[in-house]
Every structure is written in C-alpha cells, then in structure tokens.
Structure 1
Amino acid sequence: MGVAAELVEALGELGIREAFSIQELAVPIALDGRDIIGQARTGMGKTYAFGIPLLDRVFDSADVEELDGTPRALVVVPTRELAVQVGEDLARAASRTPLRLATIYGGRPYEEQIEALSGGIDVVVGTPGRLIDLHQRGDLRLDKSAILVLDEADEMLDMGFLPDVEKLWAAVPGSVQTMLFSATMPGQILTLARAKMRQPLHIRAESADAPATHTTTRQVVFKSHRMDKPEVLARILQAEGRGRTIIFTRTKRTAAEVAEDLGRRGFAVGAVHGDLSQGAREKSLDAFRAGDVDILVATDVAARGIDVEDVTHVVNYQTPDDPMTYVHRIGRTGRAGHSGTAVTLVGYDELHKWQLIDTDLQLGQPNPPEWFSTSPELYQSLTIPESAAERVGPARKVHGARPAGDTRDKRDNPSRGRRRR
C-alpha cells in the first residue's frame, strides 16, 4: 500500500501481515492526505486504519513540516482506557522509527504529561478534557498539527464531548487532514463532519444492510431471576472452552458486588468501574490483559476502550439500556475473525428493555426462555459440565476491590485503612 518499510517491519514483528477490509480501503487514501470518514464495527481494525497512515505521514511526508518537538498529529478518543490502548498500539507500530508519542488523559498528574510535552512529542493521543486543559495552559501546542483523528466519534457524542471536540478542532490549522472513525454515524456526527471536513471520502467496510453484531458471536439470551443470577453466572463461568470473559453491569455498585461475589467463589476476577481510582482501574486492566485474572467485571463507560482480542465470552449480567450499548458490549468478543459467545441475563423487570433491543437489531428473540441455575437447557446451551458447582475454590482477592463510593488509591494515601477514634 506504500507504507514505510519501518512500519511494515514493526507490524510484521507483531504478527500483522495482512490488512483488514477497513485498513485496505482507508490506508492508501489517507496516505494521500485526503479527509476520511471511516465506518466499521468495533474489533475490525479501525485503530491501524488511521494509525498507520498517520505515523507514515508524520515520519516521512513532504507535506508535513519537519519535526521540531511540537505535535504533528492529534488523536482524540472518548475514554482513558481507549487512550491507553490506542497509544500502545501506535507506539508498537512506530517502534522502528524515531517518532515520539505521548498519551494524555485525566486522572494522571499534570506534571508528568507537561514534562513529556516539553521534551518534544510528535504524536499525541488523549481525551478531550485533559487535552483542552493543557492547550489552554499553553503546554500543548496544536498550531503545527497536520493530522487530526477523532476515534469512536459516536461514543464521544453519547458522552457529551462534542463541544470539546469542536474546541480542539478550532485549535488546529485549517489545512489539517481529518480522519473521523466510528462504528455508527449518528446525524450529529455527520453534520459536524460536513461542516468541518474538506470533501471527506466516506469509507464503509461492510454493506449497508450488514447486521450490527459480529456473525462470529453466538448470542444466548434467557430470562433469569434477579436472586438466581449469581448462581447462574457461576455456572456460566465453568463452561467448556471459556477463556477471558467480560461481565457487564449497568451500575457501579452492581459491578463491585458481582466482582466480590465471584472472588468469594474462588474465581480470578478484576473490577473496572467509575468508583475506582484511575490507578486501580489500570491495575485491573493490566491484570486482565496479562492473564493474571481471566474475568473482568465492568460498567459500560469504564469498559470502553478495552481491546483484548481473545475474549471468548461476554456476559450481560444486567440488560443494557439501548441497542448500541448492547452492540458495543458484545463486540468485545468475536473480534478480528475469532469466534465468541455473548450471554444476556434478562431480569423479569428488564424484559421490555430487551424487547426494544431485539426489535431494533432484528435479533428474533423477543420472548427469551426462562432458565434457572439448575435448568438443563442452560448446561446444554453453553456446554457446562454437570459437575459445575457454586464455588470453584477458596476465596480470592479481587483486583480493584473497593467499597462503592471509595475512590482513593492506596498508593496515593498511605494512611488508608487506619481508623479514627
């Protein structure tokens, strides 16, 4: 495709030798400096679809100013976790080049990020709030940026970041090449693109009538009584062939409770939710990626940006609030051609919510069956051995365990745990 040899060699070392469809379509066009709107479902290679041409152009392009320590490219993402993931992916791809990258997001000290910027940075990946803060303080210069990427634009819209995105867009030169990538394209995103971008080419890596969910993901849906869900979940986690698993809850409190319950049952589990400090969340994610824990309990916002290819199962412990949240959740498995299983436990009070999701996504399961932790159908459908029990071993410590509402990190507060008289 005309990509620099240094980048191709680095990708080869990562085992990446062939492009996904969104990359095959987007990379040659982006290398020419064209504005792009890229659309593909989560897990289908969007990061390198914009990341490879971005790195190539900053590294060796005649129409990008020579590097002088001020950023030439800015990648804006909605969450801290996604910023870390994208930053790591780009750093690996650029490992054979002299490019300097920085990842900037809230929840980390300003000093370390300011120090990195003052030392000279070529590519910045970050979340809107912290990027704006550093720009307004004068620590982040954007006047020489040649490339602007908006990743997961639909999620930024959902999270209310559109005004911040417009501020950042106004801070870069008018000649900037813009690449906007998203799984879906709501009207507000398209309106913003038409107003800001220069004759963008809309690239869609699938047919317009393609299903919203991966065909490689098997979806198992059934009604489950709220009081029986912990027992059902314990059995699901003993299914044959289960590897890394993400369990989604709607609330932070439920995430904490589910993680603690699984820990008491002997499962290796971590938690990621908004009541944890950034340090605790990163510890849990690192443990999940490293395989120290094979179960991650997460809320929707906290889980955005979790990009682990070999997730075999996703469990919706609570029914999501809307169809797109369902798509994002189960999109964490069945990624990049791998097969996966998505299990949804529909509470009796959640049936109406599920039916709206089913209708919108045309899943054909408006009235799921009613199963309990003792139902033979549960064991048969998910290949759970008859020996599955309510516990798998002695109680284990939960990564990220913290009473709901306590956001302190032990590293930041050495006196944590002392009681006052």
Structure 2
Amino acid sequence: MTKFSDFGLSKELEKAVFNMGFEEPSPIQAQAIPIALSGKDMIGQAQTGTGKTTAFGVPLLEKLEVNEGIQGLVVCPTRELAVQVAEELNRIGQVKGIRALPIYGGQDISRQIRALKNRPQVIVATPGRLIDHIERKTIRLGSIKMVVLDEADEMLNMGFVEDIERILAETPKEKQTMLFSATMPKRIQNLAERFMKEPEIVKVKAKEMTVTNIEQYYVEAHEKQKFDVLCSLLDIQTPELAIVFGRTKKRVDEVVDGLIKRGYSAEGIHGDIPQGKRDQVIRRFKEASIDIMVATDVAARGLDISGVSHVYNFDIPQDPESYVHRIGRTGRAGKTGKAITFVSAREIDHLKIIENMTKKKMSKMPIPTTHDVLAGNQQAAVNQLRETIESNNYQEYKRLAETLLEDTDSVSLLAAALKIITKEPDATPVRLTAVEPLRSRKPKAEFDRKRRSNDRGGRSFDKSRSRDRDRRRGKNRQGNERSN
C-alpha cells in the first residue's frame, strides 16, 4: 500500500499532509505525484472528485520557493473551483509558507490587486480575469515554474481555449505543464501537443458505483453545528450500531471525546492507533459493547460488521469512491441501512459530484429541532417499557404498581412514568403523536445513554452557542463567470 511518506517529500510538505489527515493517496495521486516530482509534463485523465487537487498541489508546492513571488499558476474554468483549489493549496502549503491567491471574475479587481502586493507564490485563476490582470500588468508570468490546467475539457466547453493559448504564450518555455481533464477531445490533444513536451499520460478510470439497500440523506449545517446535529440524530434515530466517519485523525479524536463527554458509548480508530487497540475496538463494536465507532477511511477499510444500521459522514469524503466505501458498511446481508452526510453550503457542489457518480440522489434532511429530539427520547422510553414487559423482568414491582393504582388511574400513572424516563423538562411539553412498532435494542444501555445526554443539557461540541448560527451561516456562491 502506497503512503504519502513514500514520495520523498520535504519535511514541511510531509507534515502538512499529515496534519490534513491523509494516510493513503488516491489512485490519481499515487500515479501522478511521482511523475510530477520528476519534472516531466503530464496529462491526467480523471473525473472530478478523485483527489486531483492534491495530485498536482503536492508536487507544485514542493518545487516553489517562499521568497520568489509568483512561480505557480493553476487555471480553472469556474470561480467556485478556483476558490476551492486555492483553499486546498493553502492547506498543503501552510507549513512551508507557500500561499495561493484565487483570481476570478465577479470580485472587485482592485481588491485582487491589493492582495497581489502580498506576493503570493501561486495564482489560481479563471481565464478571463487572469487575462485582465495580464493586460493591466498586475500579474506577470515570466517567473512561472509550473502551470496546471484543471478541468481542461470544461474550459473547452465554455469557450476558453483561445484564452488558455494566450495565457500559456505569456509563460516561459522552460516550465513544467500538467493538464487534467475528464475527457480528451481532439482540441485538448492539440493543445497538449503545442504546449507540452512529451507528456506522460495517467488514466484513472471512473468506477461504476451504485449503492443499493441504503437510504441516503444529507444535512446542510455550518461546521459549528455539526456535532450537535450528530447527537440529535443519534437520539432520534437510535441506531443499533453506527459508524461515524471523519476526514482526519484529529477529527476522529475530537468527535470521540465529545461523544464520551455527552454520555455516548463510543470509541475511535485511525492510523495512529496501534493495530492491537484497533482490533480491540472493532471487537467491542461487533459485540455491541460500544454502539458508536468513529473512524477514518483507511482505518475502516475492509470492515465487515453485521448489524450496522447507520453511517454518518461527519465530514464529506474527498472522492466518490471513499463515499461508496463508507456507506457500504451498512445495508449488508439484504438489510436496509441509512447514510447521512453533513455538508456546508460551499460543499453542495461536491455533493452533487458524488450523486452523479453513484447515480443516486440524496434526500435533504432538515436539522432536528428540540421537539424532534424530545419526541425521539419519548419513543425510546416507550420502547424501553415494552421491552421490559416482554422480558417479564418486573415481577418485584407488581405489588408497588397495584398500590399506586389504588389512588391513581392507569393512564396517568403510565404517563408519569414515561415523563420520568424521558427526563422531559416541565417547560417544554411535547406530545408523542405516534408510537412506532417495537424495535430490538439494548434497553438499559440506550436509556442510560440518553439520560446522560439530556442531563448534560446539550452543551455544544466546541462550546459555540446556537445564537452564532444565523449570523455566521455561509451563502452559496453564484454561478460561473468568465470575467467581471
């Protein structure tokens, strides 16, 4: 199994990749990074969402120097992609001190000119706005060491080929060029022949990915809301066994710590945990000694555990293959399962890429309300009573019940018992409008978990309060623009 540490990266880049939580490169990364590091021109044929940004970002940032101005150029078809790529490059380059600046139409050009005075090492630009800067001489490409053309076929479809040719003509002849495209139409091939020197070709075929027996949902939530939403869904849905996927090792540790503090029975697995400990956690999960396991993609690879009813993607995976691998932990052996993915407003486009490749649309699930959570706890209390009756493990309480019934009618007595089990606050009465059929659960463990959760009063995972949510909620970016 190839690891990022096998690429011989500088300490700064290796640390940045480690901090991002990447343990194993995707197929396009495993093939493209060594070629790019060797200095050769390269054509990568791969679908969006396969990890292309890291595939060219790591070798690009490895070659750049901190104090030499603009040395790297990435050309993208849309403003959304330019922003996304720049953010990813800044994460990869943060330890080394390399900065990327997005340049796109629709944003005030004077603001971009001011940002350029901070001497970023990488420009990530849409073609039209980049040409505006070239003509104004606010961006000069004479020191470019590497050019990346991202989603070249999309730029062709949008009519940007002439602009790309003009941009490439402004760059030095002695440079490295990388081109990424999902398809290879003739005009893209002609472009490669004109501006690239004996490029190596890397192809990653998109897998046919279909998912059956799994109900798929997404919840749109701000980063600061996600942990509270997760806890609410756990209380409402009462999963038999649940796996929560986090993007990084640090995230897994944070989520496990938060769940334990809320009273949930949870443990985590990731690459920094010794194999013996991982095996122990998996065994405890299989035996239902714990009912929530939090994991990174690599640590959960190959898991075959029956009875997983729910998968929660706390962080949306970086590529569709990882998504299919994650949610495939549920819905096994002919059973149905549920998969819920948390996304921010800016991640909706990436969610659509996953939907296109899995050929299945996810249903939007609203953020649970306090009413929903309390109703879920009430349902759990009903299930608790029914299971106790079925187990016939209440004989010693019969005489006490008969004594109480001498003074109180049975409906009032049962209602009071349900209220006590549910721990419903007096100020927020919620009617249980329907009682679902009895489900098989571990009654005491479930009841204790919910009781401890309620007793803690729903404190936020990161100590942020709900009053910040509306004020800080992001807005979806608008459509594609070539220039202002």
**1:266-316 Cα deviation digits (max 9, x unpaired):** xx69xxxxxxxxxxxxxxxxx599869x9xxxxxxxxxxxx95378799xx
Residue type at the aligned position of 2:68: D
8 Å CA contact retained: 2:355, 2:361: no
When residues 329 and 153 of structure 1 are mapped into structure 2, their CA distance, relative to the original with a 3 A threshold, is farther
Q: Secondary structure at the match of 2:139?
A: coil
CA RMSD of aligned residues (A): 3.8
When residues 115 and 143 of structure 1 are mapped into structure 2, their CA distance, relative to the original with a 3 A threshold, is same
Residue type at the aligned position of 1:111: S
User: Corresponding residue for 1:55?
Assistant: 61
- Corresponding position: 1:332 with 2:354: yes
> 1:243 Cα deviation (Å)?
2.1
Structure 2 gap segments, 5+ residues each:
1-6, 230-314, 324-338, 342-349, 363-435, 437-469, 480-484
8 Å CA contact retained: 2:76, 2:125: yes
User: Corresponding residue for 1:139?
Assistant: 138
Q: Distance in 1 between matches of 2:114 and 2:179?
A: 29
- Corresponding position: 1:342 with 2:342: no
Q: Distance in 2 between matches of 1:141 and 1:198?
A: 23
Give percent identity, aligned residues only: 42
Q: Secondary structure at the match of 2:64?
A: helix
8 Å CA contact retained: 1:313, 1:333: no
**1:7-38 Cα deviation digits (max 9, x unpaired):** 11111111102111111111111112110001
8 Å CA contact retained: 1:217, 1:333: no
User: Corresponding residue for 2:395?
Assistant: none
When residues 2 and 129 of structure 1 are mapped into structure 2, their CA distance, relative to the original with a 3 A threshold, is same
User: Corresponding residue for 1:155?
Assistant: 154
Q: Secondary structure at the match of 1:52?
A: helix
User: Corresponding residue for 1:36?
Assistant: 42
Q: Whose helix proportion is higher, 1 or 2? A: 2
Q: Which of the two has higher C-alpha Rg?
A: 2
Residue type at the aligned position of 2:39: G
1:309 equivalent among 300, 309, 317: 317
> 1:218 Cα deviation (Å)?
3.3
User: Corresponding residue for 2:444?
Assistant: none
User: Corresponding residue for 2:68?
Assistant: 68
Q: Secondary structure at the match of 1:332?
A: helix
Residue type at the aligned position of 1:139: T
When residues 80 and 308 of structure 1 are mapped into structure 2, their CA distance, relative to the original with a 3 A threshold, is farther
8 Å CA contact retained: 1:313, 1:342: no
User: Corresponding residue for 1:9?
Assistant: 15
User: Corresponding residue for 1:218?
Assistant: 211
> 1:163 Cα deviation (Å)?
1.0
Q: Distance in 1 between matches of 2:159 and 2:25?
A: 33
> 1:219 Cα deviation (Å)?
8.4
Matching of residues 360-399 of structure 1 within 5 Å: none
User: Corresponding residue for 1:242?
Assistant: 217
User: Corresponding residue for 2:187?
Assistant: 188
Q: TM-score, normalised by structure 2?
A: 0.47
8 Å CA contact retained: 1:35, 1:200: yes
User: Corresponding residue for 2:245?
Assistant: none
Q: TM-score, normalised by structure 1?
A: 0.53
**1:58-83 Cα deviation digits (max 9, x unpaired):** 14xxxxxx8432x1010000001001
When residues 137 and 203 of structure 1 are mapped into structure 2, their CA distance, relative to the original with a 3 A threshold, is same
Q: Distance in 2 between matches of 1:149 and 1:86?
A: 11
8 Å CA contact retained: 2:216, 2:340: no
> 1:119 Cα deviation (Å)?
2.3
> 1:150 Cα deviation (Å)?
0.2
- Corresponding position: 1:99 with 2:93: no
